[in-house]
Structure 1
Amino acid sequence: MAEAEIATPLSPRRIVLLTASAAAVAALIFTGGVLPAEYHRDPIGLGRLTGIDRLWAPEEKVVSATGDAAAPASRSYPVAFRTDVIDIPLHSGEDPAGGADVEYKVHLKKGSSYIYSWSVGGIDNPEEFYTEFHGHTVEAGKAMTVAFYRKATGTSDNGVLTAPFDGVHGWLFQNQSIKPVTVHLRLAGFYELVPDGQPGNEAGLHARRID
């Protein structure tokens, strides 16, 4: 029988060269392939040239378009967006002629919204100014549906309203101080103004539209 051949052991120099070559190949694979495909990083441009970088995609977490609420996150409205400023003068709470309280509302379709901000100056004690933020239906011959959103004293408020039903939605402002004051109200959203003398604007207040 022929004697088995004995493999020649690798020299230290050969081992170093093979190890270095393997490390270089591994580094090239990681830099040119793994980084572009997995981390969207392409330091040497190989991912772009080979198209590997197109394999990368961030982790996705799909959520419902309605979020945690019943209403959708996106909504279209039948009326155009608008912004208005309304100045509402109120007499002193002690004026025998009256005029210390005024209602002002705008018309909203169910699901339509507006952002609001109002303030009144010249009152030393905020407890002397009262507001009711509410809405109601205006259908002739039908029982009125009413919703109260906020009843409070104070000289300012900011927020957003989404109408729970078709109707007029806004405020009763009541000055209980001894000074005449003016409420500065700003609205922005998808609403329609109520004509003079109709429910919601019996006082005939005129808004200044801001385009």
Structure 2
Amino acid sequence: MSDPRSPADTLDPASPSKRTLLLSMAGALAVAVVVTFAAVLPAEYNKDPLGLGRATGLSRLWAPKEEVVTADAGAPAARREASGFRTDVFEIPLAADGDEGRKNALEFKVRLPKGGTMLYSWQAEGLAVPEDLMFDFHGHTVAAEAKGAVQVADYEKGNGSQANGALSAPVDGIHGWYFRNRSDRPIKVRLKLSGFYQLVPSGEEGNLANIQPAGAAQPGP
């Protein structure tokens, strides 16, 4: 005798339906997404798109790996300076090449202690051909103060219309530029300095041409 019950009636009433399984899987996926965004990302990767990491404090668990860096014994990472920080702009006039007074070339320097720092930026105004301006960036101890031989440090030599950079003085002395204009017209070099330097008095070695700041000095606090 055949079983009159339909196939649906033969299913185990305790087995979940396909719809229930799908809903359960969707719920589990949603929970996993929330846990990832709310806990894993803030704690492990410092990412907090939902803002829950900050609210729950989990974002404080994240920290980058640390590497200890030691300063070079010959170049300390931090130092105190005897003079205050200052900024000056200088306008250095250079006559045309062949000037009888040889005013187409001059030297301008400032005083820096050993290890003292200075930022610089200069540009030649009125120069048609950049190669017509020769420069020699160097420093040396002052002859009158030297105990023995004068120490000289060469930084950069070349031709061009501008330069930007920084200097950490290798010797206690005067540091700066020798400029020579080889063009057939007068030019002006506009030099901006910032750092822990001191001006060389007019008429002394390093400032025989009596170059003074174009504007008032801007010392730091």
Shorter-chain TM-score bucket reads 0.7 to 0.9
Structure 1 vs Structure 2: percent identity of aligned residues? 40
Cα deviation per residue 1:35-61 (whole Å; 9 max; x = unaligned)? Answer: 543345384848735x4443x213324
Structure 2 match to 1:5: none
In 2: Cα distance, 1:164 partner to 1:102 partner = 23
Q: Is the 8 A contact 1:136 1:167 kept in 2?
A: yes
Between stretches 133-142 and 196-205, larger displacement belongs to 133-142
So what's the TM-score if we normalise by structure 1?
0.77
Tell me the distance in 2 between the aligned counterparts of 1:119 and 1:11: 88
Q: Which residue of 176, 199, 218 corresponds with 1:193?
A: 199
Match of 1:203 among 199, 209, 215: 209
Q: Aligned pairs, how many? A: 199
CA contact (8 A) 1:114 1:191 kept: yes
Q: Which residue number in structure 2 is paired with residue 6 of structure 1? A: none
**Post-superposition shift, 1:189?**
1.1
Q: State whether residues 105 and 194 of structure 1, in contact with CA within 8 Å, keep that contact through their aligned partners in structure 2.
A: yes
Q: TM-score normalized by structure 2?
A: 0.74
Consecutive unaligned residues of structure 2, counting only runs of 5 or more, are 1-11
Which residue is 2:128 aligned to?
124
Q: Name 1:182's counterpart in structure 2.
A: 188
Match of 2:94 among 71, 90, 97: 90
Residue 64 of structure 1 aligns with which residue? 69
- SS of aligned partner of 1:150: strand
3-state secondary structure, aligned to 1:123: coil
**Inter-partner Cα distance in structure 2 for 1:46 and 1:184:** 54
1:105, 1:196 → 2: CA distance? 11
2:4 is matched with none
Match of 2:15? 12
Q: Which runs of 5+ in 1 are unaligned?
A: 1-8
Please give the alpha-carbon distance, in whole angstroms, between the structure 2 residues aligned to 1:70 and 1:59. 29
CA distance in 1, matches of 2:196, 2:141: 17
Kept after mapping to 2: 8 A contact 1:94/1:177: no
For the 8 Å contact 1:82–1:209, the answer to whether it is kept is no
Q: Which residue of 2 aligns with 1:3?
A: none
Q: Is the 8 A contact 2:43 2:53 kept in 1?
A: no
Secondary structure at 1:127 match in 2? helix
